[in-house]
Amino acid sequence: MELNVDESQVLEVARHWKANEYYDRAEMQDWLDAFWSEGSVFRAMFRRLDPSCLVDLACGHGRHAARIMADPGLQQPSRMILIDINSENVECCRSRFIAERRIEVLQNNGMDFAPLKQNSVSAVFCFDAMVHFEYDCVVSYVRDAFRILQPNGRALFHHSNYTSPGSVWLYNPHGRNFMSRELFAHVAMRTGFQIVNQVVMDWGDGETRFPKLDCLSLIEKPSAASARVSRPPLALRIRKALSCLRQRE
C-alpha cells in the first residue's frame, strides 16, 4: 500500500535546518563524543554495520562522515553517500569533501532515498536527525531503506521515543517528534525487516535531561533464502518481538 507523506510537514521540518547555529555547536568534541566515543552505544551499534557502501541520511554539514573517515578504529567505507533535503547542506558537504573521492553527496526530497537504486547499498545510518521527522516520513524512509539495501544489509536509525499524539515537534523536549520504539519496530517488521536490536535512551544534560526520550534501532533486511526458510508467520513474529521489547523494560 502506498504511503502518502504530508510533504508540507516535511518541508516545514527541513526549513529549520538550512542555516542554523546548531551546525557549529554540533562539530564540538563533546557533542561528537556522544556518538563516537569508545563507550557510546551509537559507536557500538555502528560497528555492527557493513560500511562497504554506506549511506548517511540527513547528513547536515557532514560531521559524522568526517569523523568516520578520520577514525582508525572504524572500518572504512569504500563508498559513502551523503543525503540531505536542503541544498545549502548539500553544497556545504560537497565543498567540505571535494578532495575525498569515496564520498558522493546527493539531494533528496526528504521522504525517500531516490535516486539510489534497488539493492545498491550495504548500510544506512541516521544520527540526530530522524528524531525530528514526522511519523509518516519515518515510515517512508524505513520502507525505502528496504528497497535500497542489499540482502543482509542493515540500517541504524536514531529516532524519537516521544509519545505525545498531536504535539508540535518544535515545542517538544529537544524538538522530538511523535514516534515510539514499538511503532518503529512494527513498521520495520511489516516492511520485511528483522529487528536486530533497539536501545531506548535518555537525552540531554542536567535539567534538560529527559528519560527514555530517544531510541536507537538496528534493523536487517534478510536474504531471500533466510526469509523463506526461517521466518515464522507475521503475526507470530510481531508478538515475539513485542514480548522481547517488554522484557527489556
The three cell numbers locating residue 31: 557533542
Q: How confident is the model at residue 226 (pLDDT cuts 50, 70, 90)?
A: low
Phi then psi for residue 68, to 5 deg, are -60, -45
- Residue 4 is predicted with a pLDDT of 79
User: Domains in the chain: how many in total?
Assistant: 1
pLDDT in tens, 114-147: 999 999 999 999 999 999 999 999 999 999 999 9
Query: What is the structure's pLDDT at 15?
Result: 82
Instruction: State the average pLDDT over residues 190-211.
Output: 95
Residue 115 Rama label (left phi>0; alpha psi -120 to 50; beta): alpha
Instruction: In whole angstroms, give the CA distance from residue 124 to residue 153.
Output: 8
Total residues found in the chain within this entry? 249
Question: Does residue 2 fall inside a structural domain?
Answer: no
Number of C-beta neighbours around residue 180 at 10 A: 17
pLDDT (tens digit, 9 = 90+) per residue, 62-106? Answer: 999 999 999 999 999 999 999 999 999 999 999 999 999 999 999
pLDDT of residue 228: 46
Q: Please name the residues in contact with 157: beta carbons below 8 A apart, sequence gap of 6 or more.
A: 124, 125, 126, 130, 138, 141, 142, 184, 216, 217, 219
pLDDT for residue 237 = 62
Helices (H) and strands (E) in the chain, counts: 10, 7
In a domain, 191, yes or no: yes
Q: Is 1 inside a domain boundary? A: no
**Is 113 domain-assigned?**
yes
Give the residue, 59 or 232, on which the prediction is more confident.
59
Least confident of 16-20, 40-44, 236-240: 236-240
Side by side, the strands of the sheet bearing 121-126 are 103-107, 79-84, 53-57, 121-126, 149-160, 210-220, 194-203
**What value does the mean pLDDT of the chain take?**
91
Q: What is the CATH number of the domain that holds 50?
A: 3.40.50.150
Q: Give the pLDDT of residue 135.
A: 95
Residues spanned by the domain of 236: 7-248
Residue 216 and residue 199 in contact, taking contact as beta carbons nearer than 8 Å = yes
Question: 161 in a domain, yes or no?
Answer: yes
User: Which has more confidence, 97 or 169?
Assistant: 97
